[in-house]
Amino acid sequence: MSGSGEKPVLIVDGKRLDGRLPGDIRPSRIEANVLKNAAGSAYIEWGNNKIMAAVYGPSEALPKHTSNPERAVIKCRYQMAPFSSLEEHGRSGPNRRSIEISKVIKEVFENAIITENFPGSEINIYVEVLQGDGGTRAAGVTAAAVAVAASGIPMTDLPYGVSIGKIGDQIVIDLNKIEDNYSDADVPIVISPRTGRILLLQMDGDMTKDEINRGIRMAADAGKMISKMQSDALKKQYMEISEKYKNEAPSYTPQAQK
Amino acid sequence: MQRIVVPGEKLEDKPLRIDEAFTEDGKTYSTIMSVYDEERKVLTPLEGMWYPRMGDQVVGVVAEDKLSVYFIDLNSPYKGLIFAKDCNDDLMAGDIIEASVKELDKTKTAILTRPRKLFGGKILYVNPAKIPRILGKGNTMIRQLTQLTQSSITVGLNGLVWIKGGKVDLATEAIVTIQQEAHTAGLTNRIKALLETGK
């Protein structure tokens, strides 16, 4: 949407510039628990996006006045590394854009984490964009959800993010940087797959109600794949060890001590 | 049958009261990464944290030494507190203690009782979700560990393990292995073999 000059042709013969169909997402992979010091962490490669997410806590909320005696407070920092992008928002330090995205990511997790379990504490979520190519907040939320789950913080769901957009009359999902700049609309959304609730929706550009609904349906279809990728990333490390010893004599599973 | 589940994953099509799970619209879902035993209807956490509960045995590090109270770091969002009058030893910041949770106050601070100072030794930070496995069913695993390493081992439910004397390195290796392989079958036998070959 922020592109200037002559608009490039973004869809040729029904295919997008990188060969994807309108409902396709870019190839992506997630790895869980990549950082030793964090309670939970994840690394995601989503097309050309490379994003690291880390979760610390719950710990005592400091400064004290930020704490809530009824639930945990969630603090989030989304930041693009200075080298992550060619555009001005790649500069270091908090800026208008990163403060906004930190706020919306925080609100996503306030609706996913069971914060009532930890009154008076804080949970810190960090999302660092190492390389950005459009759709970083959606990919950031997807990675952060894996990081929160890997930390053992109880959640009601594993939310995922994906962007929907409009190029001419065509509704597409998962826009990359060029599509983002020259499309008619870009709408990042975050969905809670268990209930289908939408936890984040921001719109840049114009889309009709019908177009938004069509986009959300396309995103939910692609979301099944993203959800599977998230859960596979979380299970992978345990599955590998289980596979190694699967033929051994079974033993008991301990119950949590009460 | 056992399966690994992630937050939000459906456990049962009916509402059941299971620890670390919640029910919605007549169905039961997991809230954390865990192993679900479909026959016994038990959720065993793979990741997790400890929050104070009355009666829990804990190992902590003295964080602050005030005039009449000691604040204890319990590897948890909530602090522990010992009244100096309940304490026979003179504690200083950095000391390691073993105690049990007597009660919780309004802010979830754990009021500890019967503190025992632990001298020397080594502290291991373990994932609190794996502590039940380190103790074993009926404390079998920890008994095997102390017998075969001749170490003195104190396990806090908050994820701190204190080891002193005997084969400390071997005991540490065994505990780290238990932590990594807690969800696998035949672990007790493997740990026994590890401890016996490491003699």
Closest residue in chain A to residue B79, using alpha carbons only: A60
In this prediction, residue A89 carries a pLDDT of 59
**Band (A125; pLDDT cuts 50, 70, 90):** very high
Measured between beta carbons, the chain A residues lying within 8 angstroms of B100 are none
Reported confidence tier of residue A256, pLDDT bands at 50, 70, 90: very low
State the average pLDDT over residues A119-125. Answer: 94
Write down the pLDDT at residue B48.
86
Mean pLDDT score, A41-63: 94
String of DSSP letters for A124-141: EEEEEEEE--S-HHHHHH
Q: Which of A3-12, A175-184, A246-255, B54-63 has the lowest mean pLDDT?
A: A246-255
Burial of B120 (0-12, 13-18, 19+ CB in 10 A): exposed
Asked if the domains B2-45 and B57-118 are classified in one and the same CATH topology, the answer is: yes
Q: Which residues pair with A167 in a beta bridge?
A: A170
CATH C-level class of B2-45: mainly beta
pLDDT (tens digit per residue) in B140-178: 899 989 999 999 999 999 999 999 988 899 999 999 999
- Convert the pLDDT of each residue in B171-185 to its tens digit: 999 999 998 888 887
Q: A86 in a domain, yes or no?
A: yes
- What are the extents of the domains in chain B? 2-45, 57-118, 122-197
- Alpha-carbon gap, residue A70 to B108, rounded angstroms: 11
More confident residue, A123 or A4: A123
Q: Report the greatest alpha carbon distance in chain A.
A: 68
- Which of B10, B37, B47 shows the shortest C-beta gap to A152? B47
Beta bridge partners of B104: B110
- A255 pLDDT higher than 80: no
Residue A212 belongs to domain spanning: 16-233
> Helices marked H in A3-130 — which ranges?
96-110
CB A73 within 8 A of CB A109: no
pTM of the model: 0.91
CATH class given for the domain over B57-118: mainly beta
Q: What SS3 state is found at B149? A: helix
Cβ atoms B151, B169 nearer than 8 A: no
Residue A252 is predicted with a pLDDT of: 46
Residues of A in contact with B51 (CB under 8 A): 117-118
Contact B35 A239 (CB under 8 A): no
In a domain, A132, yes or no: yes
Inter-chain touch A238–B6, beta carbons under 8 Å: no
CA nearest B162: which of B64, B75, B87, B70? B75
Considering the domain boundaries, does residue A21 fall inside one? yes
Position B31 scores a pLDDT of: 95
Whether residues A158 and B20 touch (CB distance < 8 A) is answered with no
* Interface confidence (ipTM) of the complex: 0.88
* CB neighbour list of residue B152: distance below 8 Å, 6 or more residues apart: B121, B146, B163, B164, B165, B166
Cα end-to-end span (Å), chain A: 56
**More reliable by pLDDT, A244 or A28:** A28
CATH class of B122-197: alpha beta
In a domain, A239, yes or no: no
- The predicted pLDDT at position A88 comes to 63
The total number of structural domains that make up chain A: 1
Smallest Cα distance from A233 to chain B, Å: 10
- Residue of chain A whose alpha carbon sits nearest to that of B19: A256
pLDDT at position A253, please? Answer: 47
Domain CATH number, residue A74: 3.30.230.70
**B47–A150: do the CB atoms touch at under 8 Å?**
yes
Residue A171 has pLDDT above 60, yes or no: yes
Residues from chain A contacting residue B134 (CB–CB below 8 Å)? none
Residue ranges in chain B modelled with pLDDT below 70: 199
